[in-house]
Amino acid sequence: MARYGPLTKDTSTVALGLAQVRVGASATHIGDPNLSLAAGDSIGALANTKFTSNIDLWKLESGFPLLEDFSIPIREKAMLECAFKEVTPMNMAYAYGVDASSGYITPHSGEVKLGALVAPAYLRMEALYTYPNGTNTMYIIFPRAQIISNIELDLKTEDAVAVPITFEAKRSDSGVSGGHVTWDNKPLGRIQWT
């Protein structure tokens, strides 16, 4: 019997599960195009991970009635949204835009200042996803990102908290202060499969 519809071509490419999110100082790792953060740089257990790339297009139209002739990309944004379950001083400092890659070592000791906001620090974000076969990986690198989010600590009686944060990729090419030539042809970062 013939089968129809969208049949699976390669089961090893089906993604199921969450990525591990690692965070570190952007300036320390800016020249490395590959994974450079360790598993110890992970923000821990997550409730979700979601990559988004928004592309705005300008459209050329002509004639009457107007019909589209051509589309030109004029803006691109990349972001990774996740929600961490481990409420530590380090993770909460990251959520507030602080570079917590050093100085926030212990999980139950530290401080996050409220009402003392400054521009979010530039961080390196690496999301490492391992496919269910345990062999293949996909990773997303934002060499120079900022965490842009409103903090929500929703404590519940029968479920773990999940604090949402959003990493927004920022320019990391050599034309911006703090950037590097490595990223000149991929200024927001990259997605790599191995």
Q: Return the structure tokens found at 72.
A: 């030109």
Residue 168 pairs in a beta bridge with 79, 146
Taking the model in full, what pTM does it have? 0.92
pLDDT digit string (tens) for 134-174?
999 999 999 999 999 899 999 999 999 999 999 999 999 99
Find all residues with CB under 8 Å of 152, minimum gap 6, and list them.
Answer: 163, 164
Report the chain's mean pLDDT, rounded to a whole number: 95
Amino acid of residue 131: Y
Peptide bond into 107 cis (omega under 30): no
Quick one: three-class SS letters along 25-78?
A: EHHHHCCCCCCCCCHHHECCCEEEEEEEEEEEEEEEEECCCCEEEEEEEEEEEE
Would the CA dihedral through 74, 165, 111, 141 be positive or negative? negative
Please tell me the distance from the alpha carbon of residue 107 to that of residue 114, in angstroms, as a whole number: 19
DSSP conformation class of 97: T
Element containing residue 91 per DSSP (H, E): helix 89-95
Q: Token digits for 142?
A: 């934002």
Q: Is the pLDDT of residue 96 over 90?
A: yes
Q: Return phi, psi of residue 56, to 5°.
A: -95, 135
pLDDT of 117 reads 87
Q: For residue range 44-76, list pLDDT tens digits in order.
A: 999 999 999 999 999 999 999 999 999 999 999
Name residues whose C-beta falls within 8 Å of residue 179's C-beta, 6 or more positions apart in sequence.
Answer: 30, 144, 171, 172, 173, 187
